[in-house]
Amino acid sequence: MSDLWVIGDVHGALSSLRTLLQRARLADFEDNWLGDGATLVLLGDLMDRGPDGLGVLRFVRRLEQQASEAGGQVISLLGNHEVMLLAALRFRGRRRQGGDPYGLYDYWKQNGGRLRDLSQLEPEEMEWLEERPPTYLHGDWLFVHADARLYLALGHTREQVAARTSAFLRASTPENWVDFLNAFAEREIYTTEQGGDLAAEMLDFFGGKRLVHGHTPVFVLSGEPSSPFLRPHSYAGGTVLGLDGAMAYQAGAGFIVRLDADPGRLDQPGYVGILDTVYLTERDLAVGLPRTERD
Ligand SMILES: [Mn+2]
């Protein structure tokens, strides 16, 4: 069984991403894929907020290409920031003629949009953004970007969700884009009393035994905003795993996890399924512990 690695929202933190992938032995110091047949999942929101979203996009695409040549794979999901950036690109030129009545361009800028990313993005990179899958299923693990009801509203199979998402991304009316972005911006649906039921519904429709998401930083999910120790957050009866390590919000923040991809292992109640967590900072070394954590 080949390794399965997952990282949450990178948000333009290129040097943090490099360091984490090097420590996980998925990339070398020249940005080349080292993961052989491994799978690396990125949970969306590659760009905005941090200093070099375009650099992140180009690094991920390079690894995607190299991994596929090596028998591995890099899966980069659609996040709401990918959609915001596509909306900004689409409506930017129409602003002066009143063609952006809902301020989609400003919405992107106010949420950390970087003009350099927008202006230097190549047409084929825009196409790549439009093609990002909204969900990914790997064995018993179901991956999505957001802890939002969007996916359930879009369809009852992963194919329906993908088809309706790409229809929204082709839509020319700003109303469609606003609706889609508002639904995608929702968060924390699994922390409520109905959270377990919603997670069960997601897994029932789309497959898998555990739901993994980014989008909402782990300290928000855990209700410990003052904690400097950001770690994966397993909740909703152990069926949901939050992995947004707040990379662009907090210095030294960020982690990547290796998940247990052995079939049937997630049937064990109470088993979180994380084999390793690799952190960005050396805080674990400082207290004499190994750099990786094992469950
Ligand atoms: Mn997001």
Q: pLDDT tens across 39-69, in order?
A: 999 999 999 999 999 999 999 999 999 999 9
CA of residue 216 to ligand 1 center, whole Å: 7
Please report, rounded to a whole number, the percentage of residues in the chain having pLDDT higher than 90: 84
How many angstroms does the Cα of residue 65 sit away from the middle of ligand 1?
25
How many separate domains does the chain show?
Answer: 1
CB contact set of 22 (below 8 Å; sequence gap of 6+): 28, 29
Q: Is the dihedral of CA 19, 22, 26, 28 positive or negative?
A: positive
Q: If you measure from the C-alpha of residue 290 to the centroid of ligand 1, how many angstroms do you get, rounded to a whole number?
A: 31
Q: In a 3-state reduction of DSSP, which class is residue 162?
A: helix
Q: Residues 191-217, buried b or exposed e (16+ Cβ, 10 A)?
A: beeebbebbeebbebbbbebbbbbbbb
Centre of ligand 1 from the C-alpha of residue 42, in Å: 12
Structure tokens that stand for 17 in this block: 């991403």
Confidence at residue 96, expressed as pLDDT on a 0 to 100 scale:
79
* C-beta atoms surrounding 42 within 10 Å: 28
Whether the pLDDT of residue 33 is over 70: the answer is yes
CATH number at residue 16: 3.60.21.10
Longest dimension (CA), the chain: 61
User: What's the pTM value of the predicted model, to 2 decimals?
Assistant: 0.94
* Count of beta carbons in the 10 Å neighbourhood of residue 131: 12
CB-based burial of residue 159 (10 Å sphere; 0-12 exposed, 13-18 middle, 19+ buried)? Answer: exposed
Q: What is the Cα–Cα distance from 206 to 143, expressed in whole angstroms? A: 10
Mean pLDDT of the chain: 92
Ligand 1 centre distance from Cα of residue 1 (Å): 30
Average confidence (pLDDT) over 254-265:
94
196-215 tens-digit pLDDT: 999 999 999 999 999 999 99
Residue 144 lies in domain: 4-293
For ligand 1, the distance from its centroid to the CA atom of residue 114, given in whole angstroms, is: 16
- Tell me which amino acid residue 184 is: F
The Å distance, Cα 24 to ligand 1 centre, comes to 24
Residue 76 Cα to ligand 1 middle (Å): 13
User: What is the 14 CA–ligand 1 centroid distance (Å)?
Assistant: 17
| Residues 73-125 pLDDT 10s | 999 999 999 999 999 999 998 887 888 999 999 999 999 999 999 999 999 99
C-alpha distance from residue 260 to each of 18, 20, 77, 78, 292 (Å): 23, 19, 20, 23, 15
Q: How many beta carbons lie within 10 A of that of residue 173, not counting itself?
A: 8
CA of 184 from ligand 1 middle (Å) equals 8
Q: If you measure from the C-alpha of residue 84 to the centroid of ligand 1, how many angstroms do you get, rounded to a whole number?
A: 10
pLDDT tens digits along 170-205: 988 999 999 999 999 999 999 999 999 999 999 999
- Mean per-residue pLDDT, 218-228: 83
